[in-house]
Structures are given as structure tokens and as C-alpha cells.
Structure 1
Amino acid sequence: MDPYSDVITKLLAESRIIAVVGLSPNPDRPSHEVAAYLQRHGYRIIPVNPVAAGTEILNEHCYATLTLAAAALAEQQLRIHLVDVFRKSELVEPIADEAVAIRANGLWLQLGVFNQVAIHKAHAAGLDVVADRCTKIEHEKWLAL
């Protein structure tokens, strides 16, 4: 049995606003493909990419950090539910810290991304965590249930 199945179901069902950390403006990149897929399925995507900050990706304003994105959404009485991470494993720990600080419900590390310290920090703060899984692939499976 998949140890993440209940957490995946919960996060996909309850998360409506997803910050995608490392979202590329390049449509050929996996982060862009996954975010566009999620957007087509009713999720609001919040791009987080310091290189593309101030531009629009997928018709949404791109922020330099999760903290800045969360502050902008708070002005609209909205909040980030899920932080979906497309970054190298060794860069995840500060992202997990930010996810905790903005009070996200979950931290999702994409395929190939795994950082035990970040996972532990997020779990200890009460966040649901999925690691080394793709939100698009898992959503497709979830829809098929």
C-alpha cells in the first residue's frame, strides 16, 4: 500500500490554491506543464520564482518568495494551501521553513526531490507532506478512482 495515498487524496481534494516554487515561464519545462495541468483542473496556481518575479506565468503574477506571495494573497483574504516544489533537494529546507511560516496545509516535493530535514520540519509543524511524487501524475490517478 502507498504510504502517501491518504495524504495525496486529502491534499488534492482540499487544496485550491497551490504555490509552485520553481515554476518556469518556459512551457517546455516540467514545472510549467504540471502547473498548467493543475490550473486546467480548477486549481489556482501561484508562481514563485525569483528570476521571473514581477512577470506573469500562466496569467498569474510571479513572486520572488513564498512569503511575498502569501502576503499578497492575504490582502485578498486568501491563503496558499499547498506548496509544490520544483527545486533541487538540497534547496528545499528554506522552502519548507517558509511553507511552515505562511501556514500552508501541505508541502509537496516533486519527482526526484527528497530532503529528510525539510520533511521532518514540515511534519513537526503539522503540514501534510508528499515527497518524490508528481502532482499531475497523482491527480490523474486520483481522478481515475
Structure 2
Amino acid sequence: MTINNPSREEIGKILKKAKRIAVVGLSNNPDRTSYMVSEAMQKAGYEIIPVNPQITEALGVNAVPTLKDIEGHVDIVNVFRRSEYILDIAKEFLEIDADIFWAQLGVKDEEAFQLLTENGYITIMDRCIKVEHALTK
């Protein structure tokens, strides 16, 4: 199965509607891409929830160890992990109340894409949420 992302127009609508983004693999190191991208999204008005068992906080927000530890609804799960971890994260995603699965630029897994889309979830892979946000303003 080929990964077919939504159109840029559809991505724009997703980003305009979304308010809460859980970031899997968010680092508390300001030099890391996950931090820089998440900080930009936070400054753009999104609520960022760090998901990383190795840290206690990032961007002034308490971190949670797993997606299942998040209280309440999540609009987007944005993943900053290597591709080999995506399938397991996708399976955990299916267990929480979230709308969109988003794997960052360079991160993709066809099996995870198929699992998520077959379960009715909008899935975006190999795209940077910060770049897409800037392009769809």
C-alpha cells in the first residue's frame, strides 16, 4: 500500500480545526527538531502535550510517558520517532481519543498507514507539521 496523504487544502483544514497536539518523542533539548517544531506550534496557539518517558517537562508543560496517560481528547498525535517505532505508536493511538495521526518529515510506515486508514483515521506521514502550518495559513 502506498502512503497517500491528504491534500494540502485538507491539511490546512485539519490544522485550522485542531487545538491540542500530543507530541510523541518531544525532547526538552531546545536544539532538537522536535523541540523547535513544537515550540513554533505552541507559539501559533496550539496546546502541546509532551509524550516522552525520558523527560518530566518540555516547553513549560508536564510530560506524560505514553499516549494512554493523556487526559481528554487529542486532535493530532504528532510523532517524532524513527520509522521502526511507528507501527507500535499507531496501535497505541487506536486506544486513545484522538483524531489525526501525523508522522514527521522522514518518518513513515506503510503497515501503520494501512492499519490507521482501515480504522477510519486521517493519517499523514513524512510531512513536517510546522512547514504545513506555514504553507496553509
Q: TM-score, normalised by structure 1?
A: 0.87
Query: By how many angstroms is 1:3 displaced?
Result: 4.9
Q: CA 1:141/1:14 → structure 2, altered by over 3 Å: closer, same or farther?
A: same
Q: TM-score, normalised by structure 2?
A: 0.92
Higher helix share: 1
The alpha carbon displacement at 1:20 in A equals 0.3
* Counterpart residue identity of residue 67, structure 1: K
| Counterpart-to-counterpart distance in 2, 1:6 and 1:141 | 10
- Tell me the secondary structure at the aligned position of residue 127 of structure 2: coil
1:119 and 2:119 are equivalent in the alignment: no
Residue aligning to 1:42: 45
Q: Once superposed, what is the RMSD of the aligned Cα atoms?
A: 1.3
Aligned residues: 133
> Which of 98, 102, 110 is the matching residue for 1:108?
102
What is the aligned partner in structure 2 of residue 4 from structure 1?
Answer: 7
Q: Which runs of 4+ in 1 moved over 4 A?
A: none
Match of 2:75 in 1: 81
How far apart, in 2, do the equivalents of 1:62 and 1:42 lie?
A: 18
Name the structure, 1 or 2, with higher relative contact order (CA <8 Å, separation 6+). Answer: 2
1:60 aligns to what?
61
Taking the aligned partners of 1:99 and 1:120, their CA distance within structure 2 comes to: 14
Asked if structure 2 preserves the Cα contact closer than 8 Å seen for 1:106 and 1:128, the reply is yes
Residues 105, 66 of structure 1: CA spacing in aligned structure 2 closer, same or farther, 3 A cutoff? Answer: same
**Mapped partners of 1:86, 1:93: distance in 2:** 13
User: How far 1:6 sits from its partner (Å)?
Assistant: 3.7
The answer on 1:90 being equivalent to 2:93 is: no
- With over 3 angstroms needed to count, the CA separation of the structure-2 counterparts of 1:28 and 1:51, relative to structure 1, is same
Alignment match, 2:132: 138
Unaligned runs of 5+ residues in structure 2 are: none
| SS in structure 2 of the partner of residue 101 of structure 1 | coil
